[in-house]
């Protein structure tokens, strides 16, 4: 088991390396840009070829790509992600200012998605084909199909413009977080509610559930005590995948509500051609995705001994 | 496909038809500005009113359908073609080549497709890519982000199909690799991938709108729903319809493709597919069971 853990962790680290190398290669595929942009920033329109050349030399932009990647990696491992071309501040500083905002968004959204999906899924399974079940199915379908920026816009129209309960812009206090949280939670909650619903129905038709009924347990008891623990693994796996996808929601939500998080920085970096900033944020994303997936896999392995056996290739 | 709910095709088909015949349906030029009729409500002349530049909302919605449809079709076809070729090649050849190709696919799939597309839009904004229009940049970026899923799926089908006895029989009878691949394996791959693509179309329409919403997709003169929505955000307090109309259009299209995907999933789909499709298979099994229960009751 320990060996499987180590193996899986090693693979994840390799994947991180490879993925950052890929993004590094992509982002630097527009050569000359970085030096020219920095020169432009420093000297306005007066930047000439010599100055651009000097900056390129100083930053080692003329070295071969592998050399640059290794140097970048060495810096990144010590927490140095370079200086943002757009803001002129070190990326490490930007990170410490912006990561808490995005993490608050993801954590709140994650908790909300978890709660909503479990409530919806269990209510659906309890109703089993009834009106509640069908209504929840419809809601989940619409929830999984509505673009998150439209969800955000609708929330603003109803709760800010019509009712005037929460400010349209920025965050101050708990209530103003509710709209951003709900916006990013709706899609994962809808998908996860389906997972809960379908898997619960699956387990309810297994022999052990029938045994539960035969013992005289009520439907509710079988559902909650016998069936529910069995959906933990598919639920966990899907939750992990959906949680990582919530970063896309975070990008959109940060734009709509004007939050200074990592996502809005990413979009600004792309628009400004801040390649250093882009690479830093992409690295952050890669680390986030790969480690969430790793964590979910390890949890699943802990919970289900069958997954611990090495698979035959 | 005997009991297949054909009616479920209708909404998606409607979107395709509107997109195809957009020039005939539009009542106005979607780019024409009328400063005499800024931000008006629905009327006989402008069925859905006008926006902040006096452009006809109905025509812009119809034009937006065309923009989405064309971009979606290009990306879907290109991603499908690239994915099928790479994936089935990897699966058929096997060995170290396969391992390397799978690794590349896994690396691309390490980030969500939309994030990759966003990063590529940034890369394409560099000086080396001025020869591409924004519209094509978006299509290329989305394609480069989207193929990997199809490649992984195709490979899985090929590997599973190669283990079937009839392939061995064909080989014994002296069939060439090309014959075996095109006659026996490719139909299985395409069968599955095309079904998946029809459900994936909704996700792609959403991705196109999201890119434009973030200002990194279709450039302004072209009517596009995500962009109409972000433009409308500035007028959300007085004229929420500017946001609600494109939002509803977008949601309706995505719902219709998701319905299609669900209908496909409820039928028997080919086996040997991992990941997202596994959950769909479970949906299928659950549906069969509930159908059986209904018959019994």
**pLDDT above 80 (res B164):** yes
Residue A204 sits in the same domain as residue A152: yes
Q: Residue B24: which residues within 8 A CB-CB, separation 6 or more?
A: none
Residue B274, sorted as left (phi over 0), alpha (psi -120 to 50) or beta, turns out to be beta
Residues B155, B141: Cα–Cα separation, whole Å:
23
Please give the backbone phi and psi of residue B56, each rounded to the nearest 5 degrees, phi first. Answer: -70, 120
**Of A77, A102, A117, at which residue does a domain stop?**
A77
pLDDT grade for B84, boundaries at 50, 70 and 90 = very high
What is the ipTM for the molecules in this complex?
0.87
**Which one of A30, A255, A278 has the shortest CB-CB distance to B214?**
A255
Give the per-residue pLDDT at A251.
94
Q: Where are the domains of chain B?
A: 11-272
Residues B114, B200: Cα–Cα separation, whole Å:
13
Residues 241-280 of B with CB under 8 A from A: 243-244, 247, 250-251, 254-255, 258-259, 262, 279
Q: Of the given ranges (A194-208, A277-291, B145-159), which has the lowest mean pLDDT?
A: A194-208
Q: Is residue A84 part of a domain?
A: no
Give the per-residue pLDDT at B22.
84
**Which one of B122, B247, B258 has the shortest CB-CB distance to A278?**
B122
Give the per-residue pLDDT at B270.
38
Residue A29 sits in the same domain as residue A127: no
pLDDT grade for A193, boundaries at 50, 70 and 90 = very high
Tens of pLDDT, residues B259-281 = 888 777 766 443 333 334 444 55
Residues B7, B10: Cα–Cα separation, whole Å:
6
Give the per-residue pLDDT at A118.
93
Q: Is residue A136 part of a domain?
A: yes
Average pLDDT over residues A219-240: 87
- Chain A within 8 Å of B219 (Cβ-Cβ)? no
Residue A150 sits in the same domain as residue A255: yes
**Which one of A142, A266, A285 has the shortest CB-CB distance to B255?**
A142
Residues B93, B181: Cα–Cα separation, whole Å:
11
User: Running DSSP on this structure, what letter comes out for residue A125?
Assistant: H
**Of A50, A77, A104, at which residue does a domain stop?**
A77
Q: Is the pLDDT higher at A306 or at B56?
A: B56
Instruction: Give the helix, strand, coil percentages of chain A, each rounded to 5.
Output: 80, 0, 20
Q: Are B66 and B15 in contact (CB under 8 A)?
A: no
Q: Is the pLDDT higher at A64 or at A34?
A: A64
Give the per-residue pLDDT at B240.
87
Tens of pLDDT, residues A84-141 = 888 888 898 899 999 999 999 999 999 999 999 999 999 988 887 788 888 998 999 8
Give the per-residue pLDDT at B276.
43
Residues B226, A252: Cα–Cα separation, whole Å:
12
Q: Which residue of B has its CA nearest to A154?
A: B244
Q: What is the CATH architecture of B11-272?
A: Orthogonal Bundle (1.10)
CATH code (residue A117): 1.10.3720.10
Q: Is residue A313 part of a domain?
A: no
Give the per-residue pLDDT at B275.
38
Residue A205 sits in the same domain as residue A68: no
Name the nearest CA neighbour of A266 among A35, A252, A257, A256.
Answer: A252
Residue A65 sits in the same domain as residue A171: no
**pLDDT above 90 (res B248):** yes
Q: Is residue A85 part of a domain?
A: no
Number of domains present in the structure of chain A: 2
Residue A30 sits in the same domain as residue A106: no
- Chain A within 8 Å of B107 (Cβ-Cβ)? yes
Tens of pLDDT, residues A65-90 = 888 888 889 888 888 888 888 888 88
- Chain A within 8 Å of B215 (Cβ-Cβ)? yes
Q: Which residue of A has its CA nearest to B205?
A: A147
Domain that holds residue A236: 91-308
**B90 to each of B79, B99, B103, B158, B169, how far by Cα in Å?**
16, 8, 11, 9, 22
The percent of residues above 90 in pLDDT, for chain A, comes to 33
Q: Is residue A166 part of a domain?
A: yes
Q: Is residue A86 part of a domain?
A: no
Query: Which residues of chain A make contact with B100, given a CB cutoff of 8 A?
Result: none
Q: Is residue A269 part of a domain?
A: yes
Q: Is the pLDDT higher at A171 or at B247?
A: B247
Query: Which residues of chain A make contact with B128, given a CB cutoff of 8 A?
Result: 29-31
- CB contact under 8 Å between A270 and B230, yes or no, is no
- B116-141 b/e with 16+ CB inside 10 Å = b? bbbbbbbbbbbeeeeeeebbebbbbb
Query: Which residues of chain B make contact with A271, given a CB cutoff of 8 A?
Result: 122, 125, 215-216
**Of A77, A111, A140, at which residue does a domain stop?**
A77
Tokens of A127: 């109703």
Strand partners, B50: B56
Query: Which residues of chain B make contact with A269, given a CB cutoff of 8 A?
Result: 122
- Chain A within 8 Å of B237 (Cβ-Cβ)? yes
pLDDT grade for A169, boundaries at 50, 70 and 90 = low
Residue A55 sits in the same domain as residue A170: no
Give the per-residue pLDDT at A249.
92
Tens of pLDDT, residues B209-229 = 999 999 888 877 788 898 889
Residue A13 sits in the same domain as residue A53: yes
Name the nearest CA neighbour of A246 among A112, A153, A116, A71.
Answer: A112
Q: Of the given ranges (A23-32, B36-45, B284-293), which has the lowest mean pLDDT?
A: B284-293
Name the nearest CA neighbour of B229 among A202, A256, A103.
Answer: A256
Average pLDDT over residues B142-170: 92
Q: Are A247 and A148 in contact (CB under 8 A)?
A: no
Query: H helices of B34-185, where?
Result: 57-93, 95-108, 113-124, 134-162, 165-172, 177-179
Query: Which residues of chain B make contact with A31, given a CB cutoff of 8 A?
Result: 128
Residue A176 sits in the same domain as residue A125: yes
**Which one of B112, B286, B289 has the shortest CB-CB distance to A245?**
B112
Residues A34, B127: Cα–Cα separation, whole Å:
11
CA torsion sign for A92, A98, A102, A103 is positive
Tens of pLDDT, residues B5-50 = 777 788 888 888 888 888 888 888 888 787 777 777 787 777 788 8
């Amino acid at each position: 088991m320990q060996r499987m853990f180590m193996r899986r962790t090693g693979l994840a680290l390799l994947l991180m390396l490879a993925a950052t190398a890929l993004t590094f290669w992509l982002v630097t595929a527009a050569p000359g840009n970085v030096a020219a942009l920095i020169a432009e920033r420093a000297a306005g329109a007066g930047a000439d070829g010599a100055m651009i050349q000097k900056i390129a030399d100083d930053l080692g932009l003329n070295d071969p790509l592998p050399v640059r990647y290794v140097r970048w990696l060495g810096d990144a491992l010590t927490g140095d992600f370079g200086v943002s071309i757009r803001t002129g501040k070190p990326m490490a500083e930007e990170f410490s200012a912006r990561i808490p905002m995005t993490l608050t968004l993801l954590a709140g959204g994650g908790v909300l998605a978890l709660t909503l999906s479990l409530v919806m899924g269990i209510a659906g399974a309890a109703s089993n084909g009834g009106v509640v079940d069908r209504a929840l199915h419809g809601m989940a379908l619409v929830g999984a199909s509505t673009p998150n920026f439209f969800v955000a816009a609708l929330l603003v129209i109803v709760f800010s413009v019509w009712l005037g309960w929460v400010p349209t812009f920025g965050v101050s206090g708990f209530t103003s977080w509710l709209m951003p949280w709900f916006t990013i939670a709706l899609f994962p909650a809808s998908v996860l509610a389906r997972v809960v619903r379908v898997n619960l129905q699956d387990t309810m038709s297994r022999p052990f559930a029938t045994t539960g009924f035969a013992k005289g347990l009520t439907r509710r008891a079988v559902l909650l005590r016998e069936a529910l623990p069995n959906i933990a693994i598919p639920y966990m796996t899907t939750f992990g995948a959906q949680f990582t996808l919530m970063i896309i929601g975070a990008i959109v939500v940060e734009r709509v509500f004007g939050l200074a998080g990592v996502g809005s920085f990413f979009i600004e970096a792309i628009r400004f051609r801040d390649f250093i900033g882009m690479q830093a944020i992409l690295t952050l994303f890669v680390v986030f995705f790969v480690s969430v997936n790793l964590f979910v896999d390890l949890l699943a392995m802990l919970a289900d001994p069958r997954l611990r056996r090495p698979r035959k290739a | 496909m005997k009991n297949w709910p054909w009616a479920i095709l209708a909404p998606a088909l409607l979107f395709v038809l509107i997109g195809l015949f957009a020039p005939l349906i539009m009542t106005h030029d979607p780019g024409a500005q009328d400063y005499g009729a800024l931000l008006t409500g629905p009327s006989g002349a402008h069925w859905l009113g006008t926006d902040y530049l006096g452009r006809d909302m109905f025509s812009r919605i119809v034009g937006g359908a065309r923009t989405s449809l064309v971009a979606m079709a290009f990306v879907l076809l290109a991603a499908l073609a690239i994915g099928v070729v790479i994936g089935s090649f990897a699966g058929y050849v096997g060995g170290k080549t396969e391992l390397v190709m799978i690794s590349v696919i896994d690396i691309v799939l390490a980030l969500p497709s939309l994030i990759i597309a966003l990063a590529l839009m940034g890369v394409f904004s560099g000086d080396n890519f001025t020869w591409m229009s924004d519209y094509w940049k978006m299509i290329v970026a989305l394609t480069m982000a989207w193929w990997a899923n199809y490649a992984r799926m195709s490979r899985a089908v090929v590997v599973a199909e190669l283990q079937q006895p009839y392939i061995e029989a064909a080989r014994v009878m002296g069939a060439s690799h090309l014959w075996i691949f095109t006659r026996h394996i490719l139909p299985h791959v395409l069968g599955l991938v095309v079904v998946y693509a029809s459900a994936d179309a909704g996700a792609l329409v959403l991705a196109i709108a999201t890119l434009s919403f973030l200002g990194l997709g279709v450039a302004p003169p072209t009517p596009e729903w995500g962009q109409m929505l972000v433009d409308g955000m500035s007028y959300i307090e007085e004229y929420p319809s500017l946001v609600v109309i494109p939002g509803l259009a977008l949601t309706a299209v995505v719902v219709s493709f998701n319905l299609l995907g669900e209908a496909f999933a409820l039928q028997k789909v080919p086996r040997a597919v991992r990941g997202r499709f596994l959950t769909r298979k479970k949906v299928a099994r659950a549906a069969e069971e509930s159908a059986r229960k209904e018959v019994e009751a």
